[in-house]
Amino acid sequence: MFLTELVTNPVAAVFFLVSIILAVDVHEFCHAKAADVLGDPTPESMGRLTLNPLAHLDPFGSLLFLFIGFGWGKPVPFDPYNLENPRRDAGIIACAGPASNFVMAIAAALLLAVSPVPLLDIFLSTFIWINIVLGIFNLLPISPLDGFKIFGGILPEEQADQWYSLERYGMIFLLFFIFPFVGGRSMLEVLISPVIRFLVSLLIPQPATLF
């Protein structure tokens, strides 16, 4: 659906793709920066402590954005043995990505409120939408999404160990949720679309869109 709309509307396609690249790039960079601040040099040694989008875009996750409107970037590796409190700090590192998306969405909304240029309004609206989607999607407690490690970081140690034992099944659960079952819509879309629409409506009272 998204791909068809983008093919028929080149301007929307440019805004959509630029928004994805910026949102994913900053999201993954913030993971890397958080790990670096917490004492782990792994992201820097692997070339991830950079704003170069080529270091952060995941081919499969980017394609999903085009086809279903949800997706992800390339996970930032870190070594928990370099962290002072591995479970807590892993949760902080995981939080950094979605937090950056919500900050960017709010910043774009502030610019949108004073923008005198209609075309800029459309780009900012698209950018807000992409960041809200990326932020909410990544908060889901399913590995490899950020929410899995965030949830693990707040659980008591014994329960956290049990929780992390489910990590190996994460991709199976994720594929199940993004597969279109419900009237051509995925269970994921059915569950989180209302939340996304609500948050976007708070930031964009009168949406400007090319679609």
Known catalytic residues are: 28
Task: Look at residues 75, 122, 110 and name the one whose alpha carbon lies nearest to residue 96.
Answer: 75
The helix or strand, by DSSP H or E, that contains position 108, with its residue range, turns out to be helix 86-114
Q: How far is 63 from 6, CA to CA, in rounded Å?
A: 13
What distance in Å separates the CA atoms of residue 159 and residue 174, rounded to the nearest whole number? 22
Residue 15, Cβ density class (10 Å: 0-12 exposed, 13-18 middle, ≥19 buried): buried
Residues 6+ apart with CB under 8 A from 51: 25, 26, 29
**Cβ-contact 145, 137 below 8 angstroms:** yes
Rounded Cα distance between 193 and 173, Å, is 18
E strands of the chain, at which residues?
180-182, 185-186
What lies within 8 Å, CB to CB, of 178 at 6+ separation is 64, 68, 70, 186, 188
